[in-house]
């Protein structure tokens, strides 16, 4: 079963919007074992939309169209579909009622325009999910099918996950359940990960189930995705868990999380489990470490706060850093220990270094020191980071968080700050 | 002159990479006054690449292909082009020398694979710019033309800006110089901006030169883009400056910057001009305000540092906030005044509020107080912000920076912190 994605919207052709919808849909198709050989973007133009749909149906069995289902003059996907199907549009009373209800539930009156959204080509079926006012459509055309979903990402995702993928798999005769689980890693380069996993990947190649794939994700580390296929959810879950265990046995604690977990959410959970509170002292990162930690709801359970000591005299006055080079292990150590005491926390983290664009104190751009104080024990590490200013700062943040994570995994009995 | 963009790469079809290259190229085409009616993405597959190029040449006069020019087995754009041109590939000695030089200048030996990159279809011309090891190509096909550029964004951009756009405009007979300037605004909704500028836009419609367009950019505010066309760079510059003056007269100081300027870079410049130093006290934003300020090289000229007072007792102990509700004007005011004194700065900024997902102290998600202390003068403002946790935090940051920006525009003689 081959499926083409057509994204609709003149804003895409003008470069005002980046088409991330197509990438998301493409990923879902790949995970479901369906082929997608082409993606097309076309403007809000009747003739070009019709020719794009026809071409897509010639070279594929299925088409997913995304966008152009709104209530304005520009939104002509349903007209283009009626043209391709050779059908008339008919107002669907059930949809009129549902759209009206959407407005009533928000206490608003329905503008007349929105009635247009209830017009369905003869032979098409509305998609059951309808989180907004735009109904999705399933349109059979000869032996093929076109699914139309709105361009609003949350609405699109609900329809694809809820109806379109299931319908596609039924048509393709894919009875199997396909699921994936992503292990998130930090610390190895992609080439090193590949080397470590070569033997396992070769062993898996024999059966092709499950499979392993790497996805480099920049400052988010490298993801190892396990995809498995089986007759039931339970069996798929078992395959995934078995493979996860094998991969973790190979990669050890470079695996920091699974699926939606982030480095900061994992660290917050570990701190919470250990009943440890956290404080940060930032120079290089200027607040970014605190910002990433507090991006996680519930961070206040463990995070007391931080000092951004950007001016060097603040490092000395507030944190007890001795005079001398600020891009140094000594400075990082005193910052971590100092902020732990100053803000009365169990754990102190510190960053200092050269983010660029120019060198500092004769140290090259990318020279970074991070330090970690737990109770009276303090350790520091020098990192030599590549990339631009933004990347160096982000890598320093994830580097120190990872250092804390690995430290928290090794301790069970923890010295605590004085009450 | 119509131009289709073809992005090449199986990673695009698997949804592993979002195709931001096509959006960037599309924007450049639109700014140059060239039409782009279709965009296509195709995998690293000979047959499908060839059919995509042929189709694109049928419905357009020009095609820009992006990707597939690297040295690996997957990179087959040059083979597909040779096929479409009906040409043989010939190794270009000048390119061999240039590619070799790239490696020598980095002190590395050239792998044999990279020689493939010097293979050029007969009749094609290499693009002059070559920032990496992948040469771009200009390939005439009948009356049409295909430009091939690498998928690495920096290399692609240099070739498009340096050669492709100029060549396209020559072919299209566009003698005019087209340039645009973007005014960045904060404070008005798009509908309000549109209302204020309606009369001006209608007046411009008569000549169509210059033109105005709005681009909503979320947490970056709304951009007003002026595009002008004239016979020379000087005349275009004059048109843009005249129009900028008119738009600024209408929008006043909601215009915070031009083109690449950001709210934080503008604020840092204003502080530097006024010789004022800055400190921040963050609760809601957890370090994000400091992080955005220190993202700008040279922030250390004005930014002393900040206190992230996430735990409420730190607000009281370190900043002198009185006991009571923390999501309040009183708290914001004491935080701003407190951090200015604590870190010995001229200006103090503070944020407190409810980022969600749950309400706090009976206050709704999105309730935010920001405050600004300059010398002994302190002012606060309540903001009611929409969106999710990330958006509320980002809007609070830009909101307080904008408050400081407007304040700095009104002062010339400034009370200073005690030395």
- The burial class, CB within 10 Å (0-12 / 13-18 / 19+), for A333 is buried
- The burial class, CB within 10 Å (0-12 / 13-18 / 19+), for B334 is buried
| Interface subset of B 204-223, CB within 8 angstroms of A | 215
Inter-chain touch A287–B297, beta carbons under 8 Å: no
Contacting residues of B for A291, CB less than 8 Å apart: 285-288, 290-291, 393
| Interface subset of B 275-334, CB within 8 angstroms of A | 280, 282, 285-291, 293-295, 297, 299-300, 303-311, 314, 318
Please tell me the predicted confidence (pLDDT) of residue A418: 43
**What phi and psi, each to the nearest 5 degrees, are found at residue B82?**
-60, -40
Closest residue of chain B to A297, computed from CA coordinates: B357
Inter-chain touch B41–A37, beta carbons under 8 Å: no
Among A392, A374, A209, CA closest to A277: A374
CA angle A207, A209, A214 (to 5 degrees): 115
Please tell me the predicted confidence (pLDDT) of residue B72: 81
The answer to whether A114 touches A125, Cβ cutoff 8 Å, is: no
Low-confidence ranges of chain B (pLDDT < 50): 414-419
DSSP B186: -
- The burial class, CB within 10 Å (0-12 / 13-18 / 19+), for A203 is exposed
CB pairs under 8 A between A and B: 215
The answer to whether A393 contacts chain B (CB < 8 Å) is yes
Interface test with A, best of B51, B264, B294, B392 (most A CBs within 10 A): B294
For B1-14, what is each residue's pLDDT tens digit? 899 999 999 888 98
Question: What ipTM, to 2 d.p.?
Answer: 0.83
The answer to whether B374 touches A276, Cβ cutoff 8 Å, is: no
The answer to whether A58 contacts chain B (CB < 8 Å) is no
Among B325, B348, B331, B342, CA closest to B403: B348
Residues in Cβ contact with B260 at an 8 Å cutoff, skipping those fewer than 6 apart: none
| CA distance, residue B223 to nearest chain A CA (Å) | 11
Closest residue of chain A to B356, computed from CA coordinates: A297
| Interface subset of A 324-383, CB within 8 angstroms of B | 343, 356-358
The answer to whether B406 contacts chain A (CB < 8 Å) is no
Interface test with B, best of A6, A10, A13, A45 (most B CBs within 10 A): A13
**Full-model pTM:** 0.83
Among B212, B190, B214, CA closest to B199: B212
Please tell me the predicted confidence (pLDDT) of residue B259: 92
Q: What is the pLDDT along chain A (419 residues), one digit of tens a residue?
A: 899 999 999 888 888 888 999 999 999 998 888 889 999 999 999 999 999 999 999 999 999 999 999 888 888 999 999 999 999 999 999 999 999 998 888 778 888 888 889 999 999 999 999 998 899 999 999 999 999 999 999 999 999 999 999 999 899 887 788 888 999 999 887 778 888 998 998 899 888 899 888 877 777 888 898 989 898 989 999 999 999 999 999 999 999 999 999 999 999 999 999 999 999 999 999 999 999 999 999 999 999 999 999 999 999 999 999 999 999 999 999 999 999 999 999 999 999 999 999 999 999 999 999 999 999 999 999 999 988 999 999 999 999 999 999 999 997 554 444 43
């Amino acid at each position: 079963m081959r499926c083409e994605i057509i994204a609709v919207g003149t804003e895409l052709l003008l470069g005002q919007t980046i088409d991330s919808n197509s990438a998301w849909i493409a990923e879902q198709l790949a995970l479901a074992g369906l082929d997608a050989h082409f993606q097309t973007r076309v403007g809000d133009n009747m003739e070009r939309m019709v020719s794009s749909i026809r071409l897509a149906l010639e070279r594929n069995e299925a088409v997913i169209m995304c966008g152009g289902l709104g209530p304005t003059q520009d939104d002509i996907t349903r007209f283009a579909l009626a043209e391709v199907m050779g059908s008339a549009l008919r107002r669907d009373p059930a949809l009129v009622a549902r759209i009206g209800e959407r407005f009533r539930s928000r206490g608003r009156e329905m503008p007349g325009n929105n009635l247009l959204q209830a017009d369905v080509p003869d032979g098409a079926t509305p998609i059951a999910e309808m989180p907004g006012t735009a109904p999705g459509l399933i349109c059979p055309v000869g032996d093929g099918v076109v699914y139309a979903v709105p361009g609003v990402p949350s609405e699109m995702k609900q329809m694809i996950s809820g109806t379109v993928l299931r319908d596609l798999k039924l048509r393709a005769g894919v009875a199997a359940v396909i699921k994936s689980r992503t292990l998130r890693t930090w610390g190895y380069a992609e080439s090193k990960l590949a080397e470590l996993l070569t033997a396992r990947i070769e062993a898996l190649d024999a059966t092709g189930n499950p499979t392993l794939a790497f996805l480099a994700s920049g400052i988010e580390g490298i993801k190892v995705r396990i995809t498995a296929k089986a007759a039931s959810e339970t069996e798929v879950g078992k395959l995934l868990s078995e493979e996860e265990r094998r991969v973790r046995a190979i990669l050890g604690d470079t695996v920091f999380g699974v699926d939606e977990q982030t480095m900061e959410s994992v660290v917050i959970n570990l701190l919470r489990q250990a009943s440890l509170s956290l404080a940060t002292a930032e120079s290089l990162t200027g607040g970014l470490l605190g910002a990433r930690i507090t991006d996680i709801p519930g961070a206040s359970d463990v995070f007391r706060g931080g000092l951004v000591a950007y001016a060097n005299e603040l490092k000395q006055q507030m944190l007890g850093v001795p005079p001398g080079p600020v891009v140094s292990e000594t400075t990082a150590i005193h910052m971590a220990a100092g902020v732990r005491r100053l803000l009365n926390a169990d754990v102190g983290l510190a960053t200092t270094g050269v983010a660029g664009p120019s060198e500092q104190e004769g140290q090259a751009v990318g020279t970074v020191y991070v330090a970690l104080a737990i109770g009276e024990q303090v350790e520091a590490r020098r990192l030599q980071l590549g990339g631009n200013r933004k990347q160096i700062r982000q890598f320093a943040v994830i580097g120190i968080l990872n250092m804390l994570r690995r430290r928290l995994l090794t301790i069970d009995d923890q010295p605590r700050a004085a009450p």
